[in-house]
Amino acid sequence: MRYTQYLLPTLKENPADAEVVSHQLMMRAGMIRKVAAGVYNYMPFGLRSIRKMEQIIREELNKAGAIECLMPMANPAELWQESGRWEKYGKELLRFKDRKDTDFCMGPTHEEVITDIVRNTVKSYKQLPLNLYQIQTKFRDEIRPRFGLMRGREFIMKDAYSFDLDDAGADAAYAKMYQAYRTIFQRCGLKFRAVEADSGAIGGNFSHEFMVLAESGEDGIVSCDACEYAANVEKAELIYRDIKTPAATAELQKVDTPGQKTIEEVANFLKVEPSQTIKTLIVQTADEEIVAVLLRGDRELNEIKLANMLGVDWALPAEESQVKEATGAPVGFAGPIGLKIRVIADAEVQGMADFVVGGNAVDVHYTGANLGRDFEVTRFADIRQAVAGDPCPRCDCGKFESWRGIEVGHVFKLGTKYSEAMDATVLDDQGKTRTLVMGCYGIGVGRTVAAAIEQNHDEHGMCLPMPLAPFQVLVSMVNPKDDAVREASEQLYQELLDMGVEVLLDDRDERPGIKFKDADLIGIPLRITVGARNLKEGNVELKQRASGEMSLMPLTSAAKTVQ
Ligand code: ATP
Ligand code: MG
Ligand code: MG
Ligand code: MG
């Protein structure tokens, strides 16, 4: 590609709205241009990196036995109603109507559509295991789109979905994807961690997030300094060795039915002073299993966290919950009547009076799900986030170290949530109907490229690693008006093209200073400078963008050297 015939609009200044380096550099290097909040054009130079990322993903997923397909962005509401997510998804789901007044949404993820494909086409266990993926544009009406491609509203995602006959099959599919993800991010040259992102054993489902380590990351993660354990801080298991407040033992049955309690009543129940304020309430069964962690009045306690804590598919946030309607209390927990529980109060903030500690709310709050019958809790997650120095829950000697991370990938064992709701079944070898066990696996394509820039840049520009760089070699023709320089550059350019090297020839009639500045900004890994002075000796100069290392070499062997 010749610079003069290319579209590479570089910028001298950082755009005002670009807060993080990758956003600044992608704008300045002409990789992206904004169309609307969280909606971007992929300019030619940026698209090359995006396509490389996609290709790496494709190769590794194909190797892992996944099959590519492509689903529509426009999803009929019908499918989303079947899964129940039309009601639950909230404002990130962009809904619209067609001319016949039929409801649609822009797919933010494709569990519904893929489950529909599979239930209509897969009938026998012989067609399993199956893993289908697509690389496709998603739309999520993010509340705060920012950081360029990192948190867009329209963005490219690779999403894969596995279908298996049983749990063991689904676990194997998960393990395969997990491994493929490791290879993908390794191939990109990224420093990353795979961290636990779900409360584990609950319902047999689990998930890992792949986090690129970067100061600008929106996620906090911890990893043990002695063993393999690593987790999202929101999900990290914590050990409460140091709880100092008194523990109360009670049977749920003996606690009053749900209802607003006075501070005195609850304080008495917990055996704490009424004036003492409570932040976290941990409910344990008699054999020390933690069955719930409740926190009052914390905005962080959203439905997802609450659901994860309780090991149910969903739970309503305090304000909206039916529990509130029924009882006037903002957060509720209940187990089967008669369950022996122990309540540990982490005394700090106030307002215990608003907790429901009772036996009936479960019917209202977690329709169907019943502790002990439908699920077991063997570990606990806590609202307090893990911090550096916390003891590791998996080994006796380790302590947490903490990092910032960018979530570039997420693997999820879904179980039968969608296949059950949408009736995706096959016949097994006995002719028996079986509900498919699913997994889903996402990678943010643009976000990964942005994360790679976060990890690979300096004050002059980006230094994307070779596998993601838009071009491999930049040939910088110092002075196109000099015949010898022009001819040598053209010859080298042609030679590289013939070898299949991805080369950009800077044939612009610009001052060397400008050319070198742009070269550093756009960060093509290898730069070969063809200048009159070195050329007199038959040499050109090779510069490694990332290390800054320079060397002279004969023009005649330059192409072979960089190939
Ligand atoms: P986040 O926690 O950052 O909002 P998520 O957990 O909602 O991400 P997933 O549903 O797990 O995202 O989607 C799979 C992958 O898609 C993510 O790991 C991420 O790489 C990418 N992704 C999600 N949201 C965005 C976005 N708004 N812009 C760009 N990439 C995104
Ligand atoms: Mg999100
Ligand atoms: Mg996330
Ligand atoms: Mg995620």
Given a cut of 60, is residue 171 above it in pLDDT?
Answer: yes
Q: Is the CB of 160 under 6 A from ligand 1?
A: no
Percentage of the chain exceeding pLDDT 70: 72
80 vs 360: CA distance, rounded Å: 31
- Ligand 1, atom 2, lies closest to the CA of 407
Identify the band that residue 396 occupies on the pLDDT scale cut at 50, 70 and 90.
Answer: confident
Q: Nearest-CA neighbor of 1 among 450, 465, 461, 472?
A: 472
What is the 402 CA–ligand 4 centroid distance (Å)? 19
3-state class of 320 per DSSP?
A: helix
pLDDT in tens, 55-77: 999 999 999 999 999 999 999 99
Question: DSSP characters for 491-541?
Answer: HHHHHHHHTT--EEEE-----HHHHHHHHHHHT-SEEEEE-HHHHHTTEEE
Cis check for the bond before 129: say yes or no (omega within 30 of 0). yes
Strands 95-97 vs 400-415: parallel, antiparallel or unpaired: unpaired
pLDDT in tens, 130-161: 999 999 999 999 999 999 999 999 999 999 99
Averaged confidence pLDDT in the chain: 80
If residue 249 lies in a helix (H) or strand (E), which one and from where to where? strand 247-251
Q: In the prediction, which pLDDT does 264 show? A: 53
Q: Is the CB of 482 under 6 A from ligand 1?
A: no
Residue type, 368: G
The residue to mutate among 447, 453, 454, having the most atoms of ligand 1 within 8 angstroms of its beta carbon, is 447
Q: Is the CB of 407 under 6 A from ligand 1?
A: yes
Return the DSSP state at 392: P
Contact 421, 252 (CB under 8 A): no
ipTM of the complex: 0.99
Given a cut of 50, is residue 434 above it in pLDDT?
Answer: yes
Q: In the prediction, which pLDDT does 441 show? A: 97
Q: In the prediction, which pLDDT does 204 show? A: 57
Identify the band that residue 309 occupies on the pLDDT scale cut at 50, 70 and 90.
Answer: very low
Q: Which residues lie across from 156 on neighbouring strands?
A: 137
3-state class of 256 per DSSP?
A: coil
If residue 16 lies in a helix (H) or strand (E), which one and from where to where? none
Identify the band that residue 198 occupies on the pLDDT scale cut at 50, 70 and 90.
Answer: low
Q: In the prediction, which pLDDT does 188 show? A: 97
Q: Is the CB of 52 under 6 A from ligand 1?
A: no
415 vs 528: CA distance, rounded Å: 53
208 vs 36: CA distance, rounded Å: 32
The better pLDDT of the pair 347, 204 is held by 204
What is the 138 CA–ligand 4 centroid distance (Å)? 14
pLDDT in tens, 522-538: 999 999 999 999 999 99
Return the DSSP state at 548: -
Q: Is the CB of 155 under 6 A from ligand 1?
A: yes
Q: Is the CB of 142 under 6 A from ligand 1?
A: yes
What is the 411 CA–ligand 4 centroid distance (Å)? 8
> Residue 504 is encoded by which pair of tokens?
């950009």
- Give phi and psi for 466, each to the nearest 5: -45, -45
pLDDT in tens, 251-282: 333 333 333 344 455 445 444 444 433 334 44
Residue with tokens 């689990």: 206
Q: Residue 61: is it exposed, middle or buried by C-beta count within 10 angstroms (0-12/13-18/19+)?
A: buried
Identify the band that residue 305 occupies on the pLDDT scale cut at 50, 70 and 90.
Answer: very low
What is the 92 CA–ligand 2 centroid distance (Å)? 9
Q: Is the CB of 220 under 6 A from ligand 1?
A: no
Q: Is the CB of 409 under 6 A from ligand 1?
A: yes
The better pLDDT of the pair 226, 316 is held by 226
Q: Is the CB of 410 under 6 A from ligand 1?
A: yes
- Give phi and psi for 241, each to the nearest 5: -75, -20
Given a cut of 80, is residue 382 above it in pLDDT?
Answer: no
The residue to mutate among 181, 410, 449, having the most atoms of ligand 1 within 8 angstroms of its beta carbon, is 410
Q: In the prediction, which pLDDT does 394 show? A: 82
What is the 232 CA–ligand 3 centroid distance (Å)? 9
Mean pLDDT in residue range 408-432: 96
User: What is the model's pTM?
Assistant: 0.79
CA angle centred on 321, ends 374 and 115, rounded to 5°: 55
Q: In the prediction, which pLDDT does 392 show? A: 84
Q: Is the CB of 490 under 6 A from ligand 1?
A: no
Q: In the prediction, which pLDDT does 265 show? A: 52
CA angle centred on 247, ends 241 and 249, rounded to 5°: 130
If residue 201 lies in a helix (H) or strand (E), which one and from where to where? none
Identify the band that residue 236 occupies on the pLDDT scale cut at 50, 70 and 90.
Answer: confident
